[in-house]
Amino acid sequence: MKNLLLLSAAIVAFPGVAFANEAEGMDGETILVIGKSNGYVAIDSATATKTDTPLIDVPQTINVVTREQLDDQAQHSIADVLRYVPGTTIGQGEGNRDQITLRGQNTTADFFLDGVRDDVQYYRNLYNVERVEVLKGPYALIFGRGGGGGIINRVQKTPSSERLFGSASASVNTFGAWDVTADINAPISSSGALRVNGFYENLDNHRDHFGGERYGINPYVAFELGGGWKAGLSYEYLKDDRVTDRGIPSLACTQPCTPGPLPGHRDTFFGVPGVNRTGLEAHVVKARIDGKLAENLEWSTTVLYGHYDKFYTNVFANGAASSPTGTVALSGYIDPTKRENFIAQSNLVWDFAVGGMENKILLGLEYGEQDSTNQRFNAVLSNATLNLANIVYPTVTFPAINRDTASKVKFFSAYAQDQIGIGDHLDLVVGLRFDRFDIKGTDFAPNPDRPFSRIDEKVSPRVGLIFKPRENISIYGSFSQSFLPRSGDQFLTLTATQENLAPEKFTNYEFGAKWDIRPGLSATLAVFQLDRTNATTPDPANPANTINVGETRTRGVELALTGRLTSNWQVSGGYTHQDAKLRGNDFVRLGQVPEHQFALWNRYDFTRQFGAGIGVIHQTSQFAANRTAAGTTRLPGFTRVDAALFFNATEQLQLQVNVENLFDETYYSDAHNNNNISPGAPLNARFTARLKF
C-alpha cells in the first residue's frame, strides 16, 4: 500500500523517460508514440539517449526487431528474438528465466520495459510488445548500474484514439503447443483510448515430461490532456506455471580431452517428473505522463510498481555422465523469491541553439526501491545417481533451509547529457551520471543472523563523436562506462569478503558507421573493445560460488543489414566476430561467446497474397561456462535453417506456417554450466492464423 501511494504521488512529482512505442502496423496515431519504423527497419528510438533521436545519430550499436519481423518469424520469447541477433547468446537460465550474454557479459537482470528497469528473473512474453531493442555496450548514463555488455528493452503497445481496431491470432505447433492472443483498441473519446492485450499459451516441446501454461492480460488507458500533455496508465497481470528443465549433462572424458554434450539423450529428462516446476505471478503497474513546459522544453515521467512472486523447484544433472548408458549424479533445490519494485524516472529535455550550435540537453533523475526475499532448500534424494540404462526417477524431499535472505535496495541517480550539433556534419554527445546504490540486508541462515550492507557511489561518463559526410551516413566513435555492485544481479547476499570489494567496472570503446542506403534499407558496422575489471564469475566446479578472475577483454566486429532490397524482398541479418578472454591469459575464455555468429532472415512476397521466408543461423563452437580449466564443456558449432510460407486469404485474414530447423540439425542451443545443456529442437512447424479488423 505504501508503494501504491508513492506511485500516485510520483505521477505528479517525478517526470520520467519519454514514452516509447512504435506505430508501425497500426491504424491511426497512438496517443503516446516514440519509435517509427519502415517494415523491418527502425528509424528512431528514445531508449539509447532518452530523447527521440534517429538511430543514425546514435553513437552505439543498436539492433531493433520490429513487430512486423516478430510476426513473420512467429517469435514468442526473448530467446526466439535473440537467435537472429548476432553478438548475443541465450543462456539456459536454469530452466526458469531469461538469461543472456552480450559482448561476453552474462546477465539475468539487464532487461527493461520502455526504458525502465525490469530485472526480475522470469520469461518475458511478446504479446503486448511493438518492438524489441538490443543496445550493446555499457551505458550507465542511460540505464544506471549493470548493463555491462548491453541491455534488452521491450517497447510496449499503446492506445490510439483514431478508431476501433484489433486483431486476434491462434497458433499450434507439431509438438502440440498452442496459443491464442488478442489485441483490441477502443477510443473512449476524441482524446482518450483503451487498449487491451491478452494471451494464453499451452506449452510443449520435444523434451520428455515438459509442459505448462502461461497467460497474461494488459489493459492500457491513455489520454491527451490538452496543452500538449499526454498521460497513460498500464496494468499487467502475468501467470506462468511450467516444468523446470535443466537439459542434459556432458559426457565424461576418459583421457585428456574437451568434454561435449552427452550424445543419444536429446529428449531425456534429467529432473524428476512432478517435482521440477517453476511458477510466477506478477502485477506490474506503469504510469506515464509527458508534455511541453514551453515551445522547446519538454518534461516527461515514467513510474513503475511491480510485485513478483516466483519459485522454482528442480532436480538436475550435477556432474558428467560416465557413458551414454552409464550413470550421472543428481542434485536439486527449491528456490522461492518475492520482489517488490518501485521506480520513478524523471527527464527534462531542452532544445536550444547558441553560437551556431544546436543543443539537446537532457537532465534526469531516477529513484528506486527494491525489496527482495529469497530462500533455498536443498533436496534430499532417495537415490542421487541416475542409471541411464534403466531410468528410475528418485523421490525427493526438501527438509532443510540452506539460504534465507532479505534485502532492501535504494538507489538514486542524477544525470546530464548534451547532444550538440556542430555545423552540418558533426555531432557530439557528452554526459555524466551519478549513481548511489545502497543495499541493506540480513542473512538468516547462519546462527546468529548476519546483517550485510554496502553503499556505492559511482560516476559514469559517456562521450560520442559523430561525423556525417552526408545526411544518410554517419561515422562515429564512442567511450562509455558502467558498473555492477558486488551484490550482483539479484541482491541475494554479500559475503564478508564482497562487502569490502569495489564494484565491477565495464569500459567500452566503439568505432562504427551507419548508412541509410535508401528509405527502408540500412547497414551498420562497428568495431569494439569491452574491458571488465574487478571481474568475478561462477565457479565452474561449484556454480553457487563465485571466483575472482581479474580483468577480461572482449574485442569484436559487427555487421548488419536490415530492410527492403526490393519492393518484394525484406532482409534482416548480420555477422559478429568476438574474441573474449582473460587479459594476460589466452587459455581462459569467456563462456557462451562463439567466435563467429551469422544470422540472416529473408521474406519474399511473390504476389499480394503469397510470400515465403527463409532464415539461416550459424555459430561456431562455444564453451558452456568460462574456461578456467581443461575440463570445461564445449558446445559444438551448428547451422540451423528455418522457413516460412505466408498467405493472405483476405485483407483481414492471414495464414502462415513457420518451420524451425528445416534440415533437422542436431545442435545444442544453450547452457547454464558444464552439465546443464539444452538440446536444440528437431524439425517442427508452427501454424498461425491472424485476424485483423
- Which residues, in sequence order, are bridge partners of residue 603? 570, 613
3-state percent breakdown (helix, strand, coil) of the chain, nearest 5: 5, 60, 35
- What band does 447 get if pLDDT is binned at 50, 70 and 90? confident
Please write the tens of the pLDDT for every residue from 308-343. Answer: 999 999 999 999 999 999 999 999 999 999 999 999
Joined grid coordinates for residue 467: 561525423
Each residue's pLDDT tens digit, 607-624: 999 999 999 999 999 999
The candidate with the shortest Cα–Cα distance to 204, out of 179, 180, 175, 181, is 175
- Using CA atoms, how far apart are residues 457 and 145, in angstroms rounded to an integer? 11
419: three-class secondary structure by DSSP: strand
| In the predicted structure, residue 4 carries a pLDDT above the cut 60 | no
Task: Give residue 548's pLDDT band: very low, low, confident or very high (50, 70, 90).
Answer: low
* pLDDT value of residue 190: 87
CA dist., res. 278 & res. 346, Å (int): 35
Q: Which pLDDT does position 22 carry in this prediction?
A: 36
465 is written with which cell numbers? 563523436
Q: What was the pLDDT predicted at 267?
A: 96
Distance from C-alpha of 323 to C-alpha of 608, rounded to nearest angstrom: 55
Q: Give pLDDT tens digits for 117-145.
A: 999 999 999 999 999 999 998 878 899 99
* 456, pLDDT greater than 60: yes
The predicted pLDDT at position 37 comes to: 80
C-alpha span between 294 and 289 (Å, rounded): 16
- Domain boundary assignment for the chain: 2-692
From residue 511, how far is each of 473, 479, 514, 673 by CA, in Å? Answer: 14, 9, 11, 33
pLDDT, averaged across the chain:
91
Query: Residue 576 above 70 pLDDT?
Result: yes
> What pLDDT was estimated at residue 584?
85
Mean pLDDT of 220-245: 95
Which CATH code for domain 2-692? 2.40.170.20
Q: What pLDDT does residue 94 have?
A: 94
Tell me which residue has cell 511450467.
242
DSSP states of 433-467 as a string?
EEEEEEEEEEE-SSSS-EEEEEEEEEEEEEEEEEE
- Taking phi first (over 0 means left), then psi (-120 to 50 degrees means alpha), and beta for anything else, what does residue 335 get? beta
Would you list the DSSP string of 602-671?
A: EEEESSSSEEEEEEEEEE--EESS-B-STT--EEPPEEEEEEEEEEESSSSEEEEEEEESTT----EEEE
The predicted pLDDT at position 356 comes to 85
Whether residue 635 is predicted with pLDDT greater than 90 in this model: the reply is yes
Neighbour tally for 663: CB within 10 Å: 9
For position 175, what pLDDT does the model report? 97
* Section 625-630 average pLDDT: 85
**pLDDT value of residue 95:** 93
Residue 492 has a pLDDT of 82
- At 393-429, the pLDDT tens digits run 999 999 989 999 999 999 999 999 999 999 999 999 9
Distances 193 to 221, 224, 236, 693 between C-alpha atoms, Å: 6, 9, 17, 17
With 0-12 / 13-18 / 19 or more C-beta atoms within 10 angstroms meaning exposed / middle / buried, residue 352 is: exposed
Q: How many beta carbons lie within 10 A of that of residue 619, not counting itself?
A: 23
User: What is the rounded average pLDDT of the residues 544-552?
Assistant: 67
Q: At which residue does the C-alpha cell 501511494 appear?
A: 5
> What is the CA 444 to chain-centroid distance, rounded?
32
Q: Is the pLDDT of residue 33 over 60?
A: no
pLDDT given for residue 5 in this prediction: 36
pLDDT the model gives residue 549? 62
pLDDT over threshold 70, residue 12 = no
Distance between CA atoms of 376 and 403, rounded to whole angstroms?
A: 5
227 against 428, higher pLDDT? 428
Provide the pLDDT for residue 139: 78
598: number of Cβ within 10 Å: 18
508-515 average pLDDT score: 97
